[in-house]
Amino acid sequence: MDSIRPGTIATLAGGVVLLIASFLDWQSFGAGGFSIGLNAWDRGLTGFFLLVIAGIAIGVAAVDGFAPQVNLPENILDFSRNQLVGALGAAAFVFSFCMLFALEGFQIGTILAVLASAAIVVGARMEDQAGAGTTTI
């Protein structure tokens, strides 16, 4: 573990922040003088899917960075491992970005989710271009 690549750190950090963001307020509604906050877990299975995406990003980055001796599948369908992580990050990014435009504006959870998922996409792309998961150095 002498040198952890920036892509690994970005993916790992993005996954952790995405996980935290799912529990923070995404939307806020005023009702009868009160303000009601909704997080991702209040929107059906949204929180669960964000948890899965964050978990995969954290798991893959942690293995690549700290336990390279662990064998993970290198290709799934047409995707390399990091391309798949990037695809899942892109899915989280598109959804959270779209939610920025919802009624009553957006809250801190949405902003963090956008930034975290973007970090996952960029980190996974950097890892893919560095050849992580496909080349043994």
Partner 1 sequence: MDTSNPGPLLLLGGGVVIALGTILDWGPGVSGLNVDFNGLFGIVALLIGVALAAIGGIRAFAPDTKLPDEIAGYSLDQILFVDALIVFLWTFALISESGSKIGLHLTWIGGAVALAGTVLSMRNAPAGGPEAPTTF
Kindly report the backbone phi and psi dihedral angles of residue 28, in degrees, each rounded to the nearest multiple of 5, phi listed first: -140, 135
Q: Contact 65/9 with Cβ under 8 angstroms? A: yes
Please identify which residue in 43, 51, 62, 111 interacts with partner 1, judged by CB under 8 A. Answer: 43
Residue (34 or 101) nearer to partner 1, CB: 101
d(CA 40, CA 49): 10
Closest CA to 46 of 20, 13, 22: 22
Supply the minimum distance, in Å, between the C-beta of residue 125 and partner 1. Answer: 9
Please identify which residue in 3, 71, 135, 136 interacts with partner 1, judged by CB under 8 A. Answer: 135
CA 108 to chain centre: 16
Tokens read off for 3: 């040198």
Residues 59-98 that bind partner 1 (CB under 8 A): 75, 77-80, 83, 87, 90-91, 94-95, 97-98
d(CA 126, CA 28): 35
* Count of residues that interact with partner 1, criterion CB under 8 A: 27
Please identify which residue in 4, 35, 67, 131 interacts with partner 1, judged by CB under 8 A. Answer: 131
Binding site for partner 1 (CB under 8 A): 43-46, 48-49, 75, 77-80, 83, 87, 90-91, 94-95, 97-103, 131, 134-135
